[in-house]
Structures are given as C-alpha cells and as structure tokens.
Amino acid sequence: MSLLQYDFMQRALLAALLVGMTAPAVGVYLVQRRQAFMGDGIGHIALTGVGLGLLLDRSPVLLAVLTAAAGAVVIELVREHSKVSGDLALSVMFYGGIAGGVMLASQSEGNSNLDAYLFGQLTSVAPEDIQVIVILAIAVLAVTIGLRRPLFTVCQDEEFARVTGLPVRALNLLIAVTAAVTVTVAMRVVGLLLVSALMVVPVAIAQQLTRTFAVTMATAIAVGVAVSVSGTTLTYYVDAPPGATIVLIAIALFVLVGLLTAPLNLRRAARRAAAVSSAEVDVDVAATVGAQRRDASTGSSGTMSGTSPAPTAVEEEPR
Amino acid sequence: MRVTRPDTAIARTSAPTAQVDAAPVVRMTGGTAELGGRPVLRGVDLKVFPGEVVALLGANGSGKSTAVRTLVGLVPLTGGRIELFGTPHGRFKDWARIGYVPQRTTAAAGVPASVREVVASGRLDRRRMFRLGRADRTAVDEALAAVGMLDRAGDGIAHLSGGQQQRVLIARALARRPDLLIMDEPMAGVDLASQEVLAETLRRQKQEGRAVLLVLHELGPLEPLIDRAVVLRDGCVCHDGVPPEALGQHALPGHDHVHPHADDHAHATPGLLT
C-alpha cells in the first residue's frame, strides 16, 4: 500500500490503532458509571497543559499528561465529596482548562497553533511522540484489561464495592488517571475536543449488540480500532481533518447499527410483552394457591426462561 | 423510649443453632449519625447474634436504612461504637464475611452486564481482585441456583423484571457465603416469586447458623421467619423483641403462626410503624 511508504503515515496509523484500542477500553468504564462526559472534561483541562508546553517550549504531550492527570484526580475528588454541587464545580474547571490553554498558547513565542491539539493532526505525530504513545497505550491497556474485575465491580455499584472491602478510592483514582493518559494519547489523532467521542461512541455502538460487559468491551475496542484506522486512512486520500473524519464515521456506524437492530429489538419487545402476560397468569395462580407457592414460583420462572420479560408494573406488588 | 431486651429472650426467639452466650456478629452501642447536618440516629443500640434473623423496622425517615449503612461503613458514625464479629469497626477488615444487598430500583448500570457478571462481582475483596478460580465459579453457580436465576445467568441484567433484578442482587451477596447478610428493603417492589426466594434465603441462612439483618418497611409475609424485630422511631430504638403485632399481613393465606410470643412486648407496642 502506497500510504505506508511514508514514515509520518506509518506513525499516524500506529497512533490511530493504539488510540482506537485505548479510548473505548477506558470509555466503557466511564459509560458504565454514567460519566460519559468525563473524557470531555479531562480533554479541556489537558489543553492548559498543552498551552504550558508551548509557552515553556517543553513537550506539550508530557505536560498535557501531567496536567490532565492532576485535573482528573481533582475531578474524582470533587465527585466523591460533593454529590450535589459537583457538576457546577466541574464545569468551572473545564472552562478554566480551555481558557487557560488558549491564554498560555497565545503568550508563547512563535506561531504556535492550537488547532493541531484541538482537532488532531496526523503530521503532528512526531517520532519522539510515538514512543511515549506506545508506552502509555500499553499502560492503559494493562490497567483496563488486567483490573477489569475490580473496575467492573466499582463502576457497576460503587456502594456495594465499598462494602466488599475493595480499595474503591484507589480504583476510582486509577480510572481517572488512566482516562487522563488516554486523552493525551488520543490528542494527536482525534484532538482534545473530540477525544471523548472515541471513548463513548464505540461503547454506544457495541451495547446495541451485546448483553454482557466483557463482550461489550471487546466489541467497543474492535469498533474503536476499525473507525480510527479507517478514518486515518481516509484522510490520506481526502483532505479532511482526521478527528472529525473518525468521529463522523463512528456516528454513522452508530446510526446504521441502530437502524439494523431496531426490527430485532421490536421483535424482542413483543416477545417480552407476551412473556409478561404469561407471567401475570403465573402470579395469579401463585396468589390464589397460597399453600403451593413454591411450585407456582418455579413454574413462573420456567415460563420466563428463554424470553426476556421487561421490567413492568404488572409483575410487581405495589409498594 | 428504649426497651431493653432481657437476655433470656434471645434463647427463646432465635434459632436452635444460636447460643445464648454466643458473641454477637453485630453490636452497635449508642450509635449516632447525621445526614447533611440533620441527626438521623440518636443513640441506637443494636445486636445481631449468629443464626438470628433480625428485622429493622420503622417508618420512612426513622433511620433504619441509615443504621445499616453505618454498619457497612457507608455512613460514618458521629458517636457511639460498632463492633463487627467482635472487632471494632475501624479495625474490621474481614469484609468477605459480610454480604450486603443495597436498596436499589435497578441492578443495571450504563453498560450491559450479564447476570453472571454481576453476581461474580460479589466474589471480589481486597485479597481477591484479579482471577476467579473454580471455587469462585461454584459459589456463583450456587448463589444463582439459590435465587432461581441459574438459567438466566447469561442474560443481560437490564432485561430482567424488578423482582428478578433484586434476586440477582441477593445472589451477588450470597456468592460471598456471608456469615452476616445485610439487606436494605429487599421487599420493595418485588413479585411473589422473588418474595418466596427471599424467604427461602432467610431460612437457609438461619439453618446454617448465619445471621441476617434486614431493613423492612413492614414484616409482611416474612413475619414467621423473623426472630426478633428492632423498631426505630426518630432515630431511637423504641422496640427490641418479638416482631410487633398488627402489621396487617397476618391474614394472608398460607401464613402459619408458629413463632413464640413474648407477651410483655407484643401488646406494649401498637401502631409502631405508623
């Protein structure tokens, strides 16, 4: 393939591959915790690090990692301590991150361009960057896959996780720092403003098709790799910004999968409704034959097996 | 108003496996706690003995849920002390012995998860974070079978009914094979089959000499299985003894009235939950 002749394209494709893997691997935990916005916020804060790097003429990637990690830890602590007013404090931090980055970059000498960091630029993946990206990506995958059981437990039900004796705060901080690292890894390819999309959209695509967490995570990673590598390849032939291309491909896929699975879901819903009405009969039986409750309940769970009854009021006793 | 239970009542009301002199698995002494600056617990004494099923009753806002949340460390005590299995709360590390069923309207999170995945998460603790071995798988299967959800193990949790999700949460706690099972309002919004699963769980825990502490809004059909009821009102214990009478569910078909009565308490506490 001709595009692999160029060093910058090799680096860009390698970066795209790593970003496509790491972003959904972290994103799946954020989505599980219903914090899809986290990646966005960390991206905003990382911009201050980029600005600092440009101003001090140091590696923007390194400073972005440090700033984003510090910001992610603060976000996590704010979240932990103030369940109510947390979102306001977080918004202030996010805006501060962008404003700080733009301000610092504007004060730097030379004609520094933030656009490459905001929206991604393939040619900006420098040879020395690629080493950092490879190391960070391996670390992110080691954490998100190696610690998947405790991370799943914490993100599924944080209070339950506390009572199991798991080190919940340490795990939460680990997710935050891992997300920050991922943001900076992805910065060169999709840019800070779109990095969150690559964390969230592949997960959104995957969960239309899956029932288990493990399969959702694997599918999301596969989708992430597919969209980021294909998007990067496309920008070699078409003059388009890589971040926007990748995200638009991902969203198109999201809509496509949604349209394809819609008839399936409708059928499943119909089957569920049927199962519920049969369950209703079972419950009636159980209610009248009080002495034989045990048998009736076994019978009712038998009827429901193989189908998926939706949570409905029909089956439940009023509180 | 605090009724101190005579020690003889323990022997009378608890399962045969429990001994009068057995050390309590839970001992809260003069526990106080607040939520957002408002005092919720105002000097609560609470004990649970091995092999005992204790119901924590009370109206909304009486502090019953907060009381169990202090026991599991989700709400800090502002005064008093807690001992779990004879160890002061601050030094207690053996969380593998405690199974907790939080009060939830759903067991689902933002990403699909299978019934088995959720129940398996109950096997984790500080020492066991990475790999789950054969023993863990057996425990998960047993817990799933105990709540009648083994045939649904591969299903997505979001597709289950409210009662079935509650059963999954119970299985998640049972997978720990806990010596103390703590359940926060497990009867809220569950169907009849799930109520029966819950009753069976209580029976089995008791048979194995393990303890259960459950927060209930009313005793309902579980009444015959409850050894002792502790009733809270305004953050204080106002009854500790045999389950209070006249809670409305006694007339249910299939209800056999076998528990022993301690008459001195039964009549002293009418309308406690209203």
Taking one residue from A and the other from B, the number of pairs with CB-CB distance under 8 angstroms is 169
Per-residue pLDDT tens for A145-180?
A: 999 999 999 999 999 999 999 999 999 999 999 999
Can you tell me whether residue B71 is helix, strand or coil? helix
Say if residue B256's pLDDT is above 90.
Answer: no
On chain A, the residues whose CB falls within 8 A of the CB of B151 are 301, 305
A26 pLDDT tier (thresholds 50, 70, 90):
very high
Query: Both tokens of residue A248?
Result: 């638009």
Three-state DSSP string of chain A: CHHHHCHHHHHHHHHHHHHHHHHHHHHHHHHHCCCCCHHHHHHHHHHHHHHHHHHHCCCHHHHHHHHHHHHHHHHHHHHHHCCCCHHHHHHHHHHHHHHHHHHHHHHCCCCCCCHHHHHCCHHHCCHHHHHHHHHHHHHHHHHHHHCHHHHHHHHHCHHHHHHHCCCHHHHHHHHHHHHHHHHHHHHHHHCCCCHHHHHHHHHHHHCCCCCCHHHHHHHHHHHHHHHHHHHHHHHHHCCCCHHHHHHHHHHHHHHHHHHHHHHHHHHHHHHHHHHHHHHHHHHHHHHHCHHHHHHHHHHHHHHHCCCCCCCCCCCCCCC
Closest by CA position to A16, among listed A121, A114, A116, A146: A121
Mean pLDDT value of segment B31-38: 89
A81 pLDDT tier (thresholds 50, 70, 90):
confident
B117 membership: H or E segment, kind and range: helix B115-120
Q: What phi and psi, each to the nearest 5 degrees, are found at residue B240?
A: -145, 105
A293 pLDDT tier (thresholds 50, 70, 90):
very low
Say how far apart CA B26 and CA A209 lie, in whole Å: 45
Say how far apart CA A70 and CA A45 lie, in whole Å: 9
Higher pLDDT pick, A42 / B250: A42
Q: What phi and psi, each to the nearest 5 degrees, are found at residue A191?
A: 85, 155
Per-residue pLDDT tens for B189-240?
A: 778 888 888 888 889 888 888 999 999 988 878 888 899 999 999 999 988 9
Closest by CA position to B107, among listed B168, B65, B150: B168
Question: Within a domain: residue A214?
Answer: no
Say how far apart CA B66 and CA B75 lie, in whole Å: 7
Per-residue pLDDT tens for A111-153?
A: 567 888 888 877 777 787 788 889 999 999 999 999 999 999 9
On chain A, the residues whose CB falls within 8 A of the CB of B106 are 311
Question: Within a domain: residue A134?
Answer: yes
Per-residue pLDDT tens for A84-113?
A: 566 788 888 899 999 999 999 888 876 567
The overall average pLDDT reported for chain B is 81
* DSSP type of residue B102: -
Higher pLDDT pick, A275 / B39: B39
Per-residue pLDDT tens for B168-189?
A: 999 999 999 999 999 998 887 7
Residue A259 at interface with chain B, using a CB cutoff of 8 Å? no
Query: Both tokens of residue B144?
Result: 């799933």
Question: Within a domain: residue A314?
Answer: no
Query: Both tokens of residue A11?
Result: 């680096």
Nearest Cα of chain A lies from the Cα of B97 at a distance, in angstroms, of: 9
Question: Mean pLDDT highest for which of A184-193, A294-303, B60-69, B240-249?
Answer: B60-69
Nearest Cα of chain B lies from the Cα of A264 at a distance, in angstroms, of: 14
Contact residues, A window 22-41, toward B, CB-based 8 Å cutoff: 28, 31-34, 36
Number of separate domains in chain A: 1
Beta-carbon separation of B112 and A211 below 8 A: yes
pLDDT of residue B108: 87
Question: Within a domain: residue A7?
Answer: yes
pLDDT of residue B151: 93
Q: Could you give the percent of chain A with pLDDT greater than 90? A: 46
A168-182, A292-306, B127-141: least confident range: A292-306
A210 pLDDT tier (thresholds 50, 70, 90):
very high
Question: Within a domain: residue A97?
Answer: yes
Can you tell me whether residue B62 is helix, strand or coil? coil
Say if residue A217's pLDDT is above 80.
Answer: yes
Distances (CA, A) of A34 to A22, A43, A78, A204, B116: 19, 17, 16, 12, 21
Beta-carbon separation of B160 and A311 below 8 A: yes
On chain B, the residues whose CB falls within 8 A of the CB of A284 are none
* DSSP type of residue B163: H
Nearest Cα of chain B lies from the Cα of A185 at a distance, in angstroms, of: 24
- Residue A182 is part of a domain; what is its CATH number? 1.10.3470.10
Question: Within a domain: residue A292?
Answer: no
pLDDT of residue A84: 58
Say if residue B267's pLDDT is above 90.
Answer: no
pLDDT of residue A198: 94
Chain length of chain B? 274
Closest by CA position to A234, among listed A189, A167, A298, A293: A189
pLDDT of residue A303: 33
B113 pLDDT tier (thresholds 50, 70, 90):
very high
Mean pLDDT value of segment A44-59: 88
Question: Within a domain: residue A128?
Answer: yes
B117, B122, B195 ranked by CB distance to A213: nearest: B117
Place of tokens 């694997």: A218
Query: Which residues are CB-contacts of A128 (< 8 A; sequence separation ≥ 6)?
Result: A59
Query: Both tokens of residue A176?
Result: 């935050």
A232-241, B7-16, B180-189, B221-230: least confident range: B7-16
Say if residue A300's pLDDT is above 80.
Answer: no
Residue A317 at interface with chain B, using a CB cutoff of 8 Å? yes
* DSSP type of residue B253: T
The overall average pLDDT reported for chain A is 81
Say how far apart CA A317 and CA B162 lie, in whole Å: 10
Question: Within a domain: residue A25?
Answer: yes
Cβ contact A249:B192 at 8 Å: no
Beta-carbon separation of B121 and A152 below 8 A: yes
Say how far apart CA A154 and CA A28 lie, in whole Å: 13
Say how far apart CA A213 and CA A200 lie, in whole Å: 15
A160, A207, A293 ranked by CB distance to B100: nearest: A160
Say if residue A43's pLDDT is above 70.
Answer: yes
Nearest Cα of chain A lies from the Cα of B212 at a distance, in angstroms, of: 16
pLDDT of residue A112: 62
Domain that residue A44 falls in? 2-196
A283, A300, A319 ranked by CB distance to B188: nearest: A319
pLDDT of residue A123: 73
Three-state DSSP string of A140-172: HHHHHHHCHHHHHHHHHCHHHHHHHCCCHHHHH
pLDDT of residue B119: 95
Query: Both tokens of residue B17?
Result: 């496996």
